[in-house]
Amino acid sequence: MGRNSGLSAQTGGVPVLILREGSGRTRGRDAQRNNIMAARTIAEAVKSALGPKGMDKMLVDSSGDVTITSDGRTILDKMDIEHPAAKMMVEVAKTQDAEVGDGTTTAVILASELLGKAEDLINKGVHPTVIVEGYSKAADKALETLEKIAIPVKPSGKEFLKKVAATSMASKLVAENKEQLAEIAVEAVLSVARKVGEGYLIDLDDIMVEKKPGESLTETKLIEGLVLDKEVVHSGMPKRVEKAKIALLESALEVKKTEFDAKINIESPEQIGYFLREEENMLKQMVEKIVASGANVVFCQKGIDDMTQHFLARKGISAVQRAKELDIEKLGKATGGKVVTNLEGLSESDLGFAGLVEERKIGDDKMTFIEGCKNPRSVAILIRGADKRFLDEAERSVHDALSVVRDVVQEPKIVAGGGAPEMEMARALRGYAETLPGREQLAARSFGEAMEIVPLTLGENAGLDPVDLLLELRTRHEKGEKWSGVDVFEGKIKDMRNLEVYEPVAVKKQTIKSATEAATMILRIDDVIASGKMKAPSMPPGGMPGGGYGGMPPEY
């Protein structure tokens, strides 16, 4: 083990090349060590962002754009990562985000710790497949423990939903306003929830999130309807239309330009007049179509010609141009209107309805509000705040809050946080490991120890002593204090229920699933074969695995 050998063979003393020259190959222990190191380096980068005392990261991309965030997924997304095992950690965060919307940092830290513990076991001579087996059993046991300690809640019980939302934002830049934002998130999610059988289904795409610089975060509002970052195109159009009948158009309200260079010979001034009149007639006909349908508001995905704007204004019709495709779709859903591709086919039955469409000045810009929609389930959140970077981070935090509320409404079970559930799972795993045969026992015990990284990191980020913290937490959990966790503000161990720190069971479950999946996938690899096209520079000692596969000499 550990020696590298390329994919080559010998026939009668003549070497046969199988891989292109310049290809790299690492096998056995070296491959494992490299992959584990790369994956763990990634986790180191997000560790200090965990929890309310976690720090933010400033990420600068190649064009100089700056992002400030403490969101695990965003940090990893913005890093230019090339190492394949490191990329798998980015995938962990992505999966976590896609499935439950929060807990991305935790999932990555957990995966890394599972790999660290696995490496210790490998060094002691435990085979990776045994570790994988033990980890998989331990993960099942951990999930079972979570189910056992879970606190059932009412899916529409606002009190706990708000606490869960507030906890998700406690670790973000917006923490100061978490109560107010939690309230908005809960109202928003509950208004788009659809009852299906015994439970609820929620599509977060039904909640439109817009942001606008200016004012402050406290001015963030929930809007019963939609809001577009667009103004009414023509000053002569009404800025406020009650009982709006809305046409949603995909095509442009312009005369199509010829797609190839066409030359038209004009021989007399009358001909110019003829052409212009012809164009004007076509535009007029378009407007007539809209008027005939009975619409008094138009949302167009493409452009609206100046002259068309003028005709529409004369007819008292309000219009917005170049709306985003997604927004047009949302408008369709909210107003009950049908998106029309060809104006020829527009009829009254295609129109959507809203109680009020109004252009309002927000900050320095104008936005269009669509309220009192046919579908009462459509809502929007308009986030306000000092500058763009702050707004972007606020939007990510609102996304986390909306996600955790959705998680609980869909699966109405919660746990107290602050590392308490992880300690409880670790405790259960200590007992469970005893029941496993041979070396799997070691793996299951390691899995439990790895879970302790969550309270440990929360404590470390709050400047607490890790050894004391862990000992006391273990003792308390052994005594049956299952919600003992880290109060990062007071620097003490407390019953997290008293601090009202609550998280969805769905998020905790997913962190275990995604972390175990990634760790076992990496552990199963014992051969890395890289094509010659990939450059294979060495990994800087202790540095970021920027490229290549860990300093292996190219072989063939």
Enumerate residues 364-423 that contact ligand ATP by CB under 6 A. 400, 417-419
Q: How far apart are the first and last CA of the chain?
A: 19
| DSSP codes joined into one string, 10-23 | EETTEEEE-SPTT-
Which of 37, 38, 45, 50 is close enough to bind ligand ATP by CB under 6 A? Answer: 50
Report if residue 499 touches ligand ATP, rule: CB under 6 A: yes
User: Looking at beta carbons only, is 183 or 224 nearer to ligand ATP?
Assistant: 183
Which of 23, 32, 41, 105 is close enough to bind ligand ATP by CB under 6 A? Answer: 105
> Does the annotation count 97 as an active-site position?
no
User: Looking at beta carbons only, is 54 or 84 nearer to ligand ATP?
Assistant: 54
| DSSP codes joined into one string, 335-346 | H---EES-GGG-
- Smallest gap from Cβ 409 to Mg ion, in A, equals 18
User: Looking at beta carbons only, is 176 or 306 nearer to ligand ATP?
Assistant: 176
Say which entry of Mg ion, ligand ATP, none residue 499 contacts (CB below 5 to 8 A, set by partner kind). ligand ATP
Using alpha carbons only, what angle is made at residue 282 by residues 276 and 285, rounded to the nearest 5 degrees?
Answer: 140
**Cross-strand pairs, 16:** 9
Which of 26, 35, 95, 106 is close enough to bind ligand ATP by CB under 6 A? Answer: 106
Question: Which is the catalytic residue, given 350, 400, 407, 487?
Answer: 400
Please report, for residues 25, 30, 190, 194, 548, the alpha-carbon distance to residue 7 in angstroms, rounded to integers and kept in the order given. Answer: 8, 16, 58, 57, 18
CB 547 within 8 A of CB 83: yes
Which of 173, 237, 247, 486 is close enough to bind ligand ATP by CB under 6 A? Answer: 486
Taken in order 130, 131, 132, 137, the sign of the CA dihedral is: positive
- Smallest gap from Cβ 430 to ligand ATP, in A, equals 21
Stretch that binds ligand ATP, among 164-172, 433-441, 473-481, 521-529 (CB under 6 A): 164-172
In 355-374, which positions are buried (b, 16+ CB within 10 angstroms) versus exposed (e)? eebbbeebeeeebbbbbbbe
Q: What does DSSP assign to residue 356?
A: E
Which of 182, 370, 454, 522 is close enough to bind ligand ATP by CB under 6 A? Answer: 454
- Smallest gap from Cβ 124 to Mg ion, in A, equals 35
Which of 138, 150, 170, 304 is close enough to bind ligand ATP by CB under 6 A? Answer: 170
- Smallest gap from Cβ 556 to Mg ion, in A, equals 47
- Smallest gap from Cβ 171 to ligand ATP, in A, equals 3
> CA 349, CA 335: separation in Å to the nearest integer?
12
Helices (H), 15-157: 28-47, 72-78, 84-99, 104-123, 128-149
- Smallest gap from Cβ 458 to Mg ion, in A, equals 12
Q: What does DSSP assign to residue 176?
A: G
Enumerate residues 1-20 that contact ligand ATP by CB under 6 A. none
Q: Burial, 22: exposed, middle or buried (Cβ in 10 Å; 0-12, 13-18, 19+)?
A: middle
User: Looking at beta carbons only, is 211 or 508 nearer to Mg ion?
Assistant: 508
Please report, for residues 3, 233, 247, 299, 311, the alpha-carbon distance to residue 296 in angstroms, rounded to integers and kept in the order given. Answer: 76, 14, 8, 10, 13
> CA 398, CA 405: separation in Å to the nearest integer?
11
Which of 24, 32, 54, 290 is close enough to bind ligand ATP by CB under 6 A? Answer: 54
User: Looking at beta carbons only, is 72 or 155 nearer to ligand ATP?
Assistant: 72
**Cross-strand pairs, 490:** none
- Smallest gap from Cβ 73 to ligand ATP, in A, equals 6
Q: What is the helix (H) or strand (E) element at residue 503, kind and residue range?
A: strand 502-504
Q: What does DSSP assign to residue 261?
A: -
Owner of token pair 């001015």: 219
> CA 103, CA 73: separation in Å to the nearest integer?
9
CB 46 within 8 A of CB 109: yes
Say which entry of Mg ion, ligand ATP, none residue 193 contacts (CB below 5 to 8 A, set by partner kind). none
Write out the residues near Mg ion by the rule CB under 5 A: 102
> Does the annotation count 71 as an active-site position?
yes
User: Looking at beta carbons only, is 350 or 487 nearer to ligand ATP?
Assistant: 487
User: Looking at beta carbons only, is 447 or 483 nearer to ligand ATP?
Assistant: 483
Enumerate residues 275-334 that contact ligand ATP by CB under 6 A. none
User: Looking at beta carbons only, is 171 or 308 nearer to ligand ATP?
Assistant: 171
Question: Which is the catalytic residue, given 30, 71, 97, 350?
Answer: 71
Structure token digits, residue 76: 């990893």
Please report, for residues 384, 453, 520, the alpha-carbon distance to residue 322 in angstroms, rounded to integers and kept in the order given. Answer: 23, 49, 48
Say which entry of Mg ion, ligand ATP, none residue 50 contacts (CB below 5 to 8 A, set by partner kind). ligand ATP
Question: Which is the catalytic residue, given 69, 104, 368, 511?
Answer: 104
> Does the annotation count 104 as an active-site position?
yes
- Smallest gap from Cβ 452 to Mg ion, in A, equals 19
User: Looking at beta carbons only, is 23 or 516 nearer to ligand ATP?
Assistant: 516
Report if residue 456 touches ligand ATP, rule: CB under 6 A: no
Q: At what angle do helices 438-451 and 420-433 cross, to 10 degrees?
A: 170
Residue of 372, 391, 407, 397 lying closest to 508 (CA atoms): 407
Which of 207, 501, 522, 528 is close enough to bind ligand ATP by CB under 6 A? Answer: 501
Residues in contact with ligand ATP, counted by CB under 6 A, come to a total of 29
From residue 64 to residue 103, the character string flagging contacts with ligand ATP as x (rule: CB under 6 A) and all else as - is ------xxxx----------------------------xx
> Does the annotation count 475 as an active-site position?
no
User: Looking at beta carbons only, is 23 or 70 nearer to ligand ATP?
Assistant: 70
What one-letter code names the amino acid at 107?
A
Catalytic positions, written as ranges = 71, 104-105, 400
Binding residues (CB under 6 A) for ligand ATP: these are 49-52, 54, 70-73, 102-106, 167, 170-171, 400, 417-419, 454, 458, 486-488, 499, 501, 503
